[in-house]
Amino acid sequence: MLIEARQITKAFGGFTAVDRASLAVEPGEILGLIGPNGAGKSTLFNCLTGDLRPTSGCVLFEGRDVTRLAPEERARLGLARTFQVPQTFEHMTVLENVMIGAFLRTSRTSEASARARAVIDTVGLGPLADTPAHSLGTPGRKRLEIARALATRPKALLLDEAMAGLTPAEIARAIALIRDIHASGITLVIVEHVMEVVLSLASRVVVLHQGREIARGTPAEVTRDPVVIEAYLGKRAARAANRDAPESTGRSP
């Protein structure tokens, strides 16, 4: 296993955001982490990256217990992430933003600059390298965050709602980019609200609801699961789904 989360619980005061959730990511796969709003996806995600420390449970990276390591120490081991709300370095150029990532593997400015430029070209931000980050729109920022994370030369990349706020055409381009990254040998964990994205990318999916894991399996399996349908659309929709199904008995006349 590349990343493993065992029995993670995270409570904020009396509220348990994540309740004994476990997760295992194999090297080379794309794991989707889905669930309705407030399901605890982001909280679990932040426990993996070190932004939050779980109340109980542990996180392993390449078999090593990293539960108590700071985010920067996990980055050094090869764990990179993006943020749901882009956290670009606003007062820096696109190139400088990516250099921050590249500096993890070199202390020389010229080398960091050269590596950053190469990464910027691969994600298609090349012509914008010297523009200030604050002039980018949402799609540009999302892409910049991915570039910055790639510049750290990660083994695993964790994407937190990389599609939020994108138009369908932009989503299509972002999916293509994520496929390229996966093809280059990087393991991916994607937290996603947009179901279609997860279904087209992930090989396995874990579904969270109210802090608990309610389903896991291939995308096709979990989307047929009535528990998942109920979590997403409510009881009535789940009943309606049953009703419409051919084997359903339907409402009595």
Q: For binding to another protein (CB under 8 A), which residues are involved? A: 49, 51, 70-73, 75-76, 80-81, 83, 87-92, 96-97, 99-101, 103-104, 107, 109, 112, 124-125, 127-128, 130-131, 135-140, 143, 145, 148-149, 151-152
- Give the separation between CA 71 and CA 68, rounded to whole angstroms: 10
Handedness of CA 35, 37, 39, 41 (dihedral sign): positive
SS3 content of the chain, % helix, strand, coil (to 5): 40, 25, 35
Shortest Cβ distance from residue 81 to another protein (Å)? 5
Closest contact distance (angstroms) between CB of 55 and another protein is 20
**Closer Cβ to another protein, 174 or 198, answer by number:** 174
If the CB atoms of residues 151 and 197 are measured against another protein, the closer one turns out to be 151
Query: Cβ closer to another protein: 37 or 107?
Result: 107
Q: What's the per-residue H, E or C state across 143-182?
A: HHHHHHHHCCCCCEEEEECCCCCCCHHHHHHHHHHHHHHH
Whichever of 131 and 200 has its CB closer to another protein, that residue is 131
Residue 7 tokens read as 């029995």
Side-chain half-sphere exposure of 244, counting CA atoms within 13 A: 7
Which of 72/247 has CB closer to another protein? 72
Q: Report in angstroms how near the CB of residue 152 gets to another protein at its nearest.
A: 6
The least CB distance from residue 58 to another protein, in Å, is 20
Q: How far apart are CA 21 and CA 169, in angstroms?
A: 34
Least separation in angstroms between residue 128's CB and another protein is 6
